[in-house]
Amino acid sequence: MTIGSVPLKFRVTIDPERCMLCGRCVDNCSYGVYRNEGDRIRINSRNCVACHRCLAFCPRDAIDIEEKPTDYRSHPVWTRETREAIFNQARTGKIILAGMGNAQPYPIIFDRLVLDACQVTNPSIDPLREPMELRTYIGKKPSHISLKSSAKGEIEFLTKLSPNLQIETPIMVGHMSYGAISLNAQLALAKAVSRIGTFMGTGEGGLHEALYPYQQHMIVQVASGRFGVDINYLERGAAIEIKIGQGAKPGIGGHLPGEKVCADVSCTRMIPEGSDAISPAPHHDIYSIEDLKQLVRSLKEATEWKKPVFVKIAAVHNSAAIAAGIARSSADAVVIDGFRGGTGAAPRVFRDHVGIPVEAAVASVDAKLRQQGIRNEVSIIASGGIRESADVAKILCLGADAVYIGTASLVAMGCRVCGTCYRGVCAWGIATQKPELVARLNPDEASVQVENLIHGWTLELAELMGAAGINSIESLRGNRDRLRGYMLDEGLMQVLDVKSVGA
């Protein structure tokens, strides 16, 4: 009892005037905050993670959740978080685990960039009346095309196109594995992307049979643990993604706790039930760029060069040079995952302190590839902290071809970003494998919500393009002239290659 109790993170109160003792909060809370005791509901606020499941299901709005009800003595250096992390490690001697994305209050570059619109000298285009093209192709593009006129005057076309993924909006759903999220969550995403005409990633968790009907819209992932990878898996995917790193935890591997490896997850991942699934930090067959090239080409060879192969890296200082290496490896797209990217579980120290924001990484990758004349060799997919359609527009202006969304798609299914995914008892049925919790998520209903979200963003993107006098997404891509930095410092504006507002 040296340290004792620390102040509550949240205080839960029930207004007795409003409460009708229906018990829905007791049934819904998977963290053990509520229990029935005769004619009253007892509350243990210490268990609360603010997932808001109880609040969402309380028919009388009787529940109130207050964050940080007790103050520490305020101190700018020794913040509450710093002190609590020390208490935690003093007790356990372990690495602190955390969920979701970077929780440090770094400035968000997206919020310091503004978009342009047309006035007078050129007309804005109304997407309701004029065609507006958001169709995007992900994959290798020819640098030029070769044509030959035949004797009959017909034009013969000599360039061979590499396989590309065709998406009707530049928004895809990123890799969240079966294991990290529930099968119902994956099903909901799969149904949504199929209807929209876009793609989602499987994550490093294999491809469950229930997803086979949607395989034309799935990008299968090969990560350092090789979980779930066999030829059947590779052939089912529309594209293959090699995961080198993840924005939330650059430089380290993954860890799915054994408690989450139920029978079904064990089959899909091809690992024993109940065993921890540990992905090593590096791929043990990739110790240099030429090894990556061999893996890219092996995967292509195995699938007869019919599928694009992506390589995903965490956004780090040297992303631009790494991406230039990837562009030369036969890969078709490079995924840049920024340091605000989400995760089921990551060491807190990595989540909050390692990596760089996706905006800066994409800008430097695009610039480097252009400089070397190899921009057409790979598409750039940006992920990690894409929160709304404006973020999509801005990252496209900085040079990305498309984005992956992760957290946003989970929020569309009910997730409240409580950051407790690693506990495996997600009350929303998303980041859990407990059958009774998974059953809470109806894949059909959830898929409509995800579809609505992507549809809404797509409409907004079309409006933003029209306002900028642009009717095709190609003309937004890399168009940094249509961005301005607002209160960004000189150095960062140089990296982003944008001017200041007013300039």
Partner 1 sequence: MCGIIGVIDRRRQCMDGSRIKEALSMMDERGSGEGAGYVAYGIYPEYKDYFALHVFFDNIRENKIAIDNLLEKWGTIVHDEQIKTYEQPNIRKVHTPWRYFFRPDRSLMPKSTTPDEDIVTNLVMRVNAGKNGALVFSSGKNLGVFKAAGWPEDVADFYRIQDYKGYLWLGHNRYPTNTPGWWGGAHPFNLLNWSVVHNGEITSYGTNRRYIESYGYQCTMFTDTEVVAYLFDLLVRKHGLSEEMAVRALAPPFWEEIDVMPEKEQELNKAIRLAYGSAMMNGPFAICVANENSLVGFTDRIKLRPLVTGELGDRLYLSSEEAAIRRMEPDVGSITMPKAGEPVIGRLYA
Contacts of 96 (CB under 8 A, 6+ apart): 85, 88, 89, 347, 348, 349
Q: How many C-beta atoms surround the C-beta of residue 280 within 10 A?
A: 13
- Closest distance of CB 465 from partner 1, Å: 9
Q: Which is nearer to partner 1, 2 or 122 (CB)?
A: 122
Q: Which residues bind partner 1 (CB under 8 A)?
A: 118, 121-123, 125, 130-131, 133, 135, 137, 141-147, 155, 157, 159, 161, 164, 370-371, 373, 375-376, 397, 468-472, 474-482
Residue type for position 7: P
Return the SS3 of 112: helix
Q: Is 305 left (phi over 0), alpha (psi -120 to 50) or beta?
A: left
- Closest distance of CB 361 from partner 1, Å: 17
**What single-letter DSSP state applies at residue 436?**
H
C-alpha separations of 26 from 9, 14, 37, 218, 402 in Å: 20, 12, 11, 37, 42
CA distance 123 to 135: 22
DSSP H/E element including 403: strand 402-405
Q: Which is nearer to partner 1, 104 or 159 (CB)?
A: 159
Q: Which is nearer to partner 1, 374 or 459 (CB)?
A: 374
- Closest distance of CB 289 from partner 1, Å: 22
- Closest distance of CB 330 from partner 1, Å: 17
CA distance 192 to 186: 10
Q: Which is nearer to partner 1, 130 or 436 (CB)?
A: 130
- Closest distance of CB 399 from partner 1, Å: 8
Q: Which is nearer to partner 1, 336 or 427 (CB)?
A: 336
Q: Which is nearer to partner 1, 79 or 143 (CB)?
A: 143
Return the SS3 of 67: strand
C-alpha separations of 214 from 189, 229, 310, 411 in Å: 10, 18, 19, 22
Strands 309-314 and 333-337: parallel
Q: Which is nearer to partner 1, 351 or 480 (CB)?
A: 480
Judge contact between 378 and 323, C-beta under 8 A: yes
Q: Which is nearer to partner 1, 81 or 481 (CB)?
A: 481
- Closest distance of CB 368 from partner 1, Å: 11
- Closest distance of CB 123 from partner 1, Å: 6
- Closest distance of CB 476 from partner 1, Å: 8
